[in-house]
Chain A
Amino acid sequence: MTTASALRSPFHQGQSTQRIMLSVIIALLPGLSIMGFINPFWLLQPLLAGLGAVIGEWFFIWCCTRQPAQASRTLMDSSALLAGLLLGLCLPPASPWWLAFIGGHICSMLGKQMYGGLGANPFNPAMLAYLVLLIGFPLQMSQWQGLYDGLTQATLLDQATVLSPAQWPGTHAFNQACLLALGFTLGGLYLLRLGIIHWVTPICLLLGFIIVQLYIDDFNVKASLLQIPVGGLIIGAFFMATDPVSAPNHRQDQIIYALGIGALTSLIRQGQQYPDGMAFAIVLMNIVTPSFISLKNALKHKRDIL
């Protein structure tokens, strides 16, 4: 369907899906540049994953429609590139190159196009792809050390059994993690400034995390605060949980959603199985999201939920 001419009028506010996606990519730049500053090779993973996602999306649509023009037009909204970049940021830098590339494909195909494309995916594509890789390639996905000098985000959490959080400050890895967290926070503030994301989600997510973490740490404030910059918490709070498609539509639902993600992340971090719980927490809360509407309706009209 072609649009009404009101949309072509000069009074349209000029916002477009493509511009939103590009703004988010721009918001990632501070974090990415800090990453490149620490070690330029770390940038390979996001780039490869982004490339994989773009190719995967084009290929999927071409397979479905056999119209290269349409496939290319779909890529114009840049959502595939963005999802790929986000996935790449979460991958361990030392993992093999094909992992990021495959991850990108999974991100576009399984995470988004399988459900009907942009706007129809119930899960955050990057997080879903991350989980698929984590379960499918557990060995490669735990290669945080090795190739490159230095340690990155999840490492500290990996070593939590060896190195207690109280010993983190001052280590090289912790400083890097703080620097990266700062970069992504800057990007998040930029998105808040543009009005693309709302402050409710990141604030409530951090709040939910802190509350549960305080309880776990026996109300040791310092130990709890130390957990914030490490892992994927900041990038998740500003870039993953704020994905409008998979998050609830209304503020009060978003509060519950974000609190839930924060709490679940903290809880999963305590388990020994997986070092960082962000991806699991987000996908779990994505599963709950559709129920918010029926729950609200049920409360409003005093009906049974099902």
Chain B
Amino acid sequence: MTQLYPMTGGLLLPTQRAIGLKPQALTEQPPRLVFALQQRHLRYGSVVKLGQLVFANQVIAQSIGSEPIALHTGLAGQVTSIDDHSIELRTNSNMPTHKQPIPVSMTTLKHTPLAKGLRELGLLGLGGAGFPTALKIHRIHTLLINGVECEPLLVTDASLMTYHADQIIQGLYQLLTHQDIQLRRLIIAIEADKPQAITAMRQALQIHTWSLQPELIIIPTRYPAGGERQLYQQLFGEKLPAAVKMSDQGVACLNVHTLLAINNGFNGQPLTHRLVSILGNGIAQPQQLWLPIGTPISWLLTYCGALHEPLEVRIGGPIMGQRIDQRNQSITANANTLIVDLVKPTLFEQPCIACGQCEPVCPEALAPQDLIALIQSQPQQQDQQLVEQNLPACIECGVCDLVCPSHIPLHQYFGQHKSRLKHLADQQQRAQIANATYTRRQERLAKAPKPNPKPPIEASRFTPSQPLSSKANSTTKLKTNLAKAQRLYREAQAALKQAEKKGLEPTLRKVYESKVGKMHDKVQLAQTAFDTEKGRV
């Protein structure tokens, strides 16, 4: 039995999971798909043209960078608009689809380097952060499978583990057999309030014979126990410093849904669909659907029978989820849950009375009351102090919000200032690099001796040191010159012919003819030069 360490802070919330929600497929196709190109960790660039017909599983965009990550469409259709933020596709179910799915390399994951294969399959973390999977599994010794969906109400991972445990475990098994993965430890963490998922996973684990025995660990129900940094603390007994990521420690944390997608990847299927739970009191019935990525939320709301009243839509859980504008957003890879609620009356934020309720519940052992006092006084002058108080370690779990008697949206403030500080730090770093480069150049210039005046050109052109090679060079040069001249001559001739076909004014025709003549002269000149040079050699 693996030892489990206690987590700092956190809250025991009533999770109220609608367990028993079964994953279902859509009964009709969405009429259009909208792919968001600007995502949290990635920026995509389109690789399709306006009006182009695309097949299902075809790559339509690639992330910008030296190691691009592909974005595939789940449905066939025609590209109707492309801009900086999105690609829109009008789907067409009558279009002939390729019998064979089309991942870029046309090979399955098994025979390619893992990271490359995962990039080509477009795999992102499906737990909610959407971090590229290929970047996570780099030089790792421990793989942590995250089935701890700690936020209340969420059921996506739970029902995946209950109904698709065999596929998840199959994915894990295939991943382990891949040559690029050398593990020392394999941990599967599941939250205690999902007994069906635990039994299903346990059964699925027994199908295979493992070279490295997976440890199934049951994490006590507590919010936010499923955060990467919190899991790390509970499993390894130490807190990660703010700047250190789990992957820096050689541990990769993969969500169960990501593992399922990896399994599909081994079967040659890129990431095109994901399971989304649609919950809340704004829809007729909670559902769980396999949706193609890019499904517009407005269409989805109609499909699910949303009420015709002002609605508030959140992507993600009830605490950490983001409120979105339902009119022009679509499902992305990290959208695990859609919570559709009726609009509730607003509460007013009251001043902080420094009651200190937020301090013991903070899972990162921060002092939210001090942070909010700093932020609300003079944020610009307090940056240094905010960093000293470890604001960058905030995971924005929102536990402090839940206990705050003054109804201050603390984690929103912290999120804003965290990203502001990060931006500032990035800027500073870039400025430092630029400054260092500049000073180094100045030093170099100061050190270097005054450049000698250049030798006369005639002397340098025919230096006797390398007579043979220079001659060879001159021959090839003349040859290319000749080829170029010949090409231009042919082009000029072709242009003239085409012009004649169309019927041409005499003056214009003369221009064309003179050009052809000129080109002919040039070809002859080049030919003679080449011949003489050849003769000399």
Contacts and interface: CB of A to CB of B under 8 A. Distances in A.
Interface string A1-42: 111111111111101110110000000000000000000000
A2 B357 contact: no
B365 interface: no
A7 B409 contact: yes
Contact of B405 (A4, A15, A116, A250): A15
A300 to B, nearest CB: 8
Interface residues of B, number: 42
B326 to A, nearest CB: 14
B354 A9 contact: no
A198 B360 CA distance: 12
Contacts of B11: 13
Contact of B402 (A12, A116, A119): A12
B350 A2 contact: no
Interface string A243-254: 011010110000
B356 interface: yes
A17 B318 contact: no
A261 to B, nearest CB: 17
Contact of B407 (A7, A117, A244): A7
B304 interface: no
Interface in B330-369: 341, 344-357, 359, 367, 369
A3 B354 contact: no
A297 interface: yes
Contacts of B404: 7, 15
Contacts of B411: 4, 6
Contacts of B354: 119, 244-245, 247, 249
A119 B351 contact: yes
B348 A20 contact: no
B319 A77 contact: no
B401 A4 contact: yes
Contacts of A247: 354
B405 A5 contact: no
B296 to A, nearest CB: 22
A57 to B, nearest CB: 14
Contact of A5 (B312, B350, B352, B402): B312
Q: Chain A: interface residue count, which band?
A: 35 or more
Q: Which of A9, A15, A247 has the most B CB atoms < 10 Å from its CB?
A: A9
A268 interface: no
A12 B358 CA distance: 12
Contact of A17 (B359, B402, B405): B405
B226 to A, nearest CB: 15
Given A17-B350, A77-B350, A244-B354, A6 B409 contact: yes
A118 B152 contact: no
Given A5-B344, A6-B401, A7-B407, A249 B353 contact: no
Contact of A13 (B370, B385, B403): B403
A15 B347 contact: no
A117 B353 CA distance: 10
Interface of A: 1-13, 15-17, 19-20, 73, 77, 116-120, 196, 198, 244-245, 247, 249-250, 293, 297, 301
Given A5-B344, A16-B405, A245-B353, 9 more contacts: A3-B348, A3-B409, A5-B312, A5-B341, A6-B319, A20-B355, A198-B356, A249-B367, A250-B367
27 contacts: A2-B349, A3-B346, A3-B349, A4-B409, A4-B411, A4-B412, A5-B312, A5-B323, A6-B318, A7-B409, A8-B345, A8-B347, A11-B13, A11-B319, A12-B401, A12-B402, A16-B407, A17-B405, A20-B353, A119-B352, A119-B354, A119-B406, A120-B351, A198-B356, A244-B354, A244-B356, A249-B359
